[in-house]
Structure 1
Amino acid sequence: MRLGLGLALASVLLLLTPVERDPLPARMADTGGGTQLITAEAPHARSTTGTVTWWDRRGGRWVRAGSAAARFGANGLVEGAGRRQGTSTTPTGLYSLPYAFGIEPAPHGTAYPYRRVTGESWWCQDNRSRSYNRWAEGLPADCRAAEAEHLVTYGARYAHALVIGFNYDRPVRGRGAGIFLHVRGEGPTAGCVAVPAGAMRRILAWAEPGRRPHIAIGTRGGRTAIVRY
């Protein structure tokens, strides 16, 4: 009788014990081939909040190095390949991180290529410009100021940031420009991923260019599930 009771109790405890899952990067289709990864995951495509986590691959396993609350676009997230400019949506997918920048000096320990913002730094988003989706020192003649970000005017939000390689290598006009991982402001973003200032500093001190970090952006499930990327 006691044996039967013990077995029944053990079965109940087993059901109540959560099954240990592989870490998120281990469940993804692709992580970019490096040994560092940032994941930006939202509960669903309409979400404007979620979690950014940064990971190290050590000893053949992905280990969480840190995490922080995140903000996404005011209109949620959308598949990167079908995104349209001006929609305030965050593009999902797996992207490179070309370089970091900021109004403030690079945080102590930063090894990543880092560009300091000046009063002449712009990010062109003009679809008619040859500088589309590129940093420019001095506003290019073919890039309208109304279709560009004057980086220094973004204050604390661009104190420190990482360029997300969305639509970057071979820019498609109309798909979107100026998608960054940056310091969060008061509310959702215009399409970027944003984290608290302290988290942004920690990410820059953690990232090592030789380990080829990428960022994966997606949702917990559905067509834009982060594990698909």
Structure 2
Amino acid sequence: MITHRPRAALLAASLLLTGCGGGAVAAPDDGPSATATVTEATPSTPAVAVEAAPQRIPGLGTRTWAAVPDDADQVVVVSGRGPDSPVATVVLYRRTGAGWRAGESRPAHNALRGWSDHHMGGDLRSPIGVYGLTDAGGLLRDPGTKLPYDRGSGFHSPGTGFEGEPLEGAFDYVIAINYNRRPGTSPLDWTRPLGAGRGGGIWLHVDHGGPTHGCVSIAEQHMKELLLALDPALHPVVVMGDHASLAR
């Protein structure tokens, strides 16, 4: 367990100001992401069409796919409804010998003003890009994740969101998104390699029923499922942005 510093509560409060606040996209028509169809037959049965898993995650264009590390065998895709929308979906993909297999599509929220490919602190947009997922934590005890997990009172989330909804419980479970942070540290670590002006404290966390300051939020049960599924040995990353940006 990573032990956070005594000022963790202050840092968590700062996240409310600078970071966390609070449908599936179609595959390209051609290229390696297209789903292949193969034919199988046995001596006693006619040939039938069997749909194989795609060799590239559907909805991710050439530029986006090029940013996904070759060793990433787990990819969380956060696909926003539009560039200025706070509504998104989250799908966990796992690389198999047959190709990429998709998990269930989960409803999600992102930042109030949508997305940005040059996120700045306080812009109320979530950063577009591909980022590692190496560290987790929360107010509640570790549900059994393989990620390093920092539990502590610094994850308390007081106040209300943009729609007046209570934020209590939003940080019960969090997964740090490696945007402008130092991997291998608690999500509460305040190191900002790109500088404080570029924001930080971007997490996956429990949904509170409304837009966030920059994070991505999903239902508590889905957060627990994601924590249990992610495995550092599979080098998980998140690919996030509005669906048009991801398709580039």
TM-score by length of 1: 0.70
Instruction: Select which of 4, 12, 31 maps to 2:68.
Output: 31
Q: State the Cα deviation string for residues 75-102 of structure 1 (Å, max 9, x = none).
A: 11111xx221111111110001130011
Q: State the Cα deviation string for residues 126-185 of structure 1 (Å, max 9, x = none).
A: xxxxxxxxxxxxxxxxxxxxxxxxx32353101101000111142322010211000111
Bigger CA drift: 185-194 or 151-160? 151-160
In the alignment, which residue of structure 2 is the partner of 1:59? 97
Hey, what's the Cα distance between the residues in 1 that align with 2:195 and 2:98? 37
Hey, what's the Cα distance between the residues in 2 that align with 1:212 and 1:67? 21
- Select the structure of larger CA radius of gyration: 1
Q: Secondary structure at the match of 2:196?
A: coil
Deviation at 1:44, TM superposition (A): 1.6
Q: State the Cα deviation string for residues 92-130 of structure 1 (Å, max 9, x = none).
A: 1000113001101122x4111111023xx3xxxxxxxxx
Greater share of helix: 1
Q: Secondary structure at the match of 1:31?
A: coil
Hey, what's the Cα distance between the residues in 2 that align with 1:203 and 1:193? 13
Q: Would the aligned equivalents of 2:59 and 2:246 in 1 still touch at CA under 8 Å?
A: no
Q: State the Cα deviation string for residues 30-73 of structure 1 (Å, max 9, x = none).
A: 32231001010012201110101001000051101232101010
TM-score by length of 2: 0.65
Unpaired runs of 5+ residues, structure 1, are 1-18, 122-150
Hey, what's the Cα distance between the residues in 1 that align with 2:95 and 2:60? 10
Q: Would the aligned equivalents of 1:55 and 1:66 in 2 still touch at CA under 8 Å?
A: no
Equivalenced residue count is 173
Q: Would the aligned equivalents of 2:76 and 2:239 in 1 still touch at CA under 8 Å?
A: yes
Root-mean-square deviation over aligned CA pairs: 1.9
Q: Would the aligned equivalents of 1:99 and 1:163 in 2 still touch at CA under 8 Å?
A: yes
Residues 1:152 and 2:156 aligned together? yes
In the alignment, which residue of structure 2 is the partner of 1:111? 146
In the alignment, which residue of structure 2 is the partner of 1:75? 113
| Sequence identity (%) | 27
Hey, what's the Cα distance between the residues in 1 that align with 2:178 and 2:59? 19
Hey, what's the Cα distance between the residues in 1 that align with 2:145 and 2:82? 33
Q: Secondary structure at the match of 2:104?
A: strand
Hey, what's the Cα distance between the residues in 2 that align with 1:36 and 1:64? 10
User: How has the CA–CA distance of structure 1 residues 47 and 171 changed in structure 2, closer, same or farther, with 3 Å as cutoff?
Assistant: same
Residues 1:184 and 2:207 aligned together? yes
Residues 1:218 and 2:241 aligned together? yes
Instruction: Select which of 135, 156, 178 maps to 1:99.
Output: 135
Hey, what's the Cα distance between the residues in 1 that align with 2:169 and 2:93? 25
